[in-house]
Amino acid sequence: MKPRPTFPARLDSGVRAGLVLRQPIAVPLHKASPAAKPHSSAFEASRKSMVAKLVGLGLSDRQVRAAMETVPRHMFVDTALEGQAYEDTSLPIGLGQTISKPGVVARMIELLCNGRSDMLGRVLEIGTGCGYQAAVLSLVAREVYSIERLRALHDKARENLRTFRLPNVHLLFGDGMAGFAKGAPYAGIIAAAGGEAIPVAWTYQLAVGGRLVAPVTVHGGVSGAVGSQALVVIDKSAHGLHQTVCETVHFVPLKSGTA
């Protein structure tokens, strides 16, 4: 059996991915190390309020709702921005990149789950960023591969996620447009950057029966604006690919290579 890459930090192998959502009290996401920000619990009410607003806007998936309520978003942003962590807004994380709006994260993961009652299988995330979405995905998927093209952000995500000891999250540094063939096939692929088209590598690496959710540049589409982005869902069956164009979104551009 070919070896798979593992998370850079030393992990608590006694915590199983399958336990994460079913026994939230025991989830490592609640166990901050001494180096973590000590006032995490003070944000719990804000986090619950954020999720309540997302439910009011249409979030209905039970697993996604529980995951959003569990992951402390304030621990993935700079200290100066903690007060805005639970507002439905994107925030800068450096290098011209942002942490996506909670509403967008919830929407995309809900689309990825597609109403299933059990956990997703292996998921590929394109664009780790600060690691927040990977943490949310870890609670709804059995295994998460997350790839980031910017070394500084890859390192930041590694430090952010080290505290939580998530054994089912694997962080990769590389060109996200190429995907990660060694981990394929994936039950789901989700992208945090938008290009002119979905890279062919992603559709090849998507399993039959799998789903891909990503922003794509459209021309005169959902919003009618030239060069605007829309959320696109691609379902792969034995007969081919089926594409659904959803609402207008705004993501950083998808780029190739590493930096």
Active site amino acids = 100
Q: CB of 157 within 8 A of CB of 131?
A: yes
Going by C-beta distance under 8 Å and a sequence separation of 6 or more, which residues neighbour residue 254? 126, 176, 177, 191, 193, 194, 195, 199
Nearest to 70 by CA among 104, 44, 97: 44
Partnered with residue 121 across adjacent β-strands are: none
Residue 45 corresponds to which tokens in the numbers above?
Answer: 């009410």
- Compute CA 192 distance to the chain's CA centroid, rounded to the nearest angstrom: 8
Partnered with residue 230 across adjacent β-strands are: 216, 248
Residue 25 corresponds to which tokens in the numbers above?
Answer: 């009290």
CA angle, 75 then 77 then 83, to 5°: 85
Residue 38 corresponds to which tokens in the numbers above?
Answer: 């000590």
Position 26: which residue type?
A
Position 132: which residue type?
Y
